[in-house]
Amino acid sequence: MIPVEEPSAVPASRRELNKAATRRAIAEAALALLRARGVGRFTVEDIASAAGVSRRTFFNYFPSREAALAVSVDEFLDHGVEQFLARPADEPLVESMHELLIALADPIHLAAMAEVYGTAGADPQMHRFQLEGWDSCADKLVEAIRGRSGPEMDSLYVGALVGSALSCGKAALSEWFHRCGGEVTEESLDLLRQYLIDVVGYLRQGFTR
């Protein structure tokens, strides 16, 4: 048996941590510029400079400024997927989906996503990246359900369940933006959290009122 040289794994781990830190710095710089200047009023060069990296390094991580901003939406949705995966394997799928929507109301992930969400109306590229984020989330959830329930699970049921849950999340965000205009304050975030909780109730009751 060939011995495993554990020390060689340490530099690789550090490299991954450094890459993650650089990616995070770029995404945070993009969000800070969005707050300071508004949609479309800064460039890739501005983001790179604020993050302390070169333009080339920026493009090693993201294809565009919009992709860097979309990190907040991706992380928001990935948090929901993680919460779904953490649910008990014998829990009814509908209940797991309810818990996913409740998890989306987590304030840690909600604020940054809310800041970016409103940019979709003013920037077609942001709209595209956000749609891709929701589509990717749906794919991950379908895969997770099949992993839990097996490949024999009715694909129509799975697709309808995932689509319904995510559409409820989108409806909450859309209503929040309509009411608050994308303004992110403590009060507006409380309203968004309440909308996400409300749509869970609608889903639980089968939209019976």
Of the pLDDT bands very low, low, confident and very high (cuts 50, 70, 90), residue 2 is: very low
**Are 168 and 97 spatial neighbours (Cβ–Cβ below 8 Å)?**
no
Q: Tens digit of pLDDT for each residue in 65-123?
A: 999 999 999 999 999 999 999 999 999 999 999 888 888 888 778 888 888 887 877 78
Domain identity same for 95 and 184: yes
The answer to whether position 209 is within a domain reads no
Mean pLDDT of 35-49: 92
Q: Evaluate whether residue 55 is within a structural domain.
A: yes
Q: What does the DSSP 8-state code read for residue 39?
A: T
Same domain (yes/no): 22, 88: no
Q: CA dist 97 to 70, 126, 142, 145, 160, Å?
A: 23, 26, 11, 10, 12
Longest dimension (CA), the chain: 67
More confident site: 1 or 126: 126
What is the arithmetic mean of pLDDT over 158-182? Answer: 92
Q: What is the CATH number of the domain that holds 186?
A: 1.10.357.10
Q: Say whether both 72 and 55 belong to one domain.
A: no
Is 204:98 a contact under the CB 8 Å cutoff? yes
pLDDT digit string, tens, across residues 144-153 = 999 998 888 8
Domain range spanning residue 17? 12-61
Tokens 């993680």 belong to residue:
82
Name the pLDDT band for 6 (thresholds 50, 70, 90): very low
116, part of any domain: yes
- Give 9's pLDDT tier (boundaries 50, 70, 90): very low
pLDDT at 3 exceeding the cut of 90 = no
Q: Share the mean pLDDT of the chain.
A: 88
Mean pLDDT of 170-190: 90
Mean pLDDT for 179-186 is 86
**124 contacts: CB under 8 Å, gap ≥ 6:** none
Q: First-to-last CA distance in the chain?
A: 67
> Would you state the pLDDT for residue 11?
55
Question: Are 26 and 80 part of one and the same domain?
Answer: no
**Residue 12 pLDDT:** 59
Closest of 77, 51, 78, 75 to residue 65, by C-alpha: 51
Burial of 152 (0-12, 13-18, 19+ CB in 10 A): exposed
pLDDT at 5 over 60: no
Whether residue 178 sits in one domain with residue 121: yes
Q: Contact 30/65 with Cβ under 8 angstroms?
A: yes
147 three-state secondary structure:
helix
Q: How many domains does the chain have?
A: 2
* Alpha carbon separation from 202 to 98, 124, 166, 178, 207 (Å, rounded): 10, 31, 13, 20, 5
In a domain, 52, yes or no: yes
Which of 34, 136, 121 shows the shortest CA–CA distance to 76?
A: 136
In a domain, 199, yes or no: yes
Report the pLDDT value the prediction gives residue 126, as an integer from 0 to 100. Answer: 86
pTM: 0.79
Whether the predicted pLDDT of 62 surpasses 90:
yes
Task: Check residue 68 and give its pLDDT.
Answer: 94
* In-domain check, residue 124: yes
Residue 7: per-residue pLDDT: 46
One domain, residues 143 and 165: yes
- Which amino acid belongs to residue 27? A
Question: Cβ(137)–Cβ(80) under 8 Å?
Answer: yes
The answer to whether 32 and 50 have CB atoms below 8 angstroms apart is: yes
pLDDT at 154 over 80: yes
Domain-located, residue 208:
no
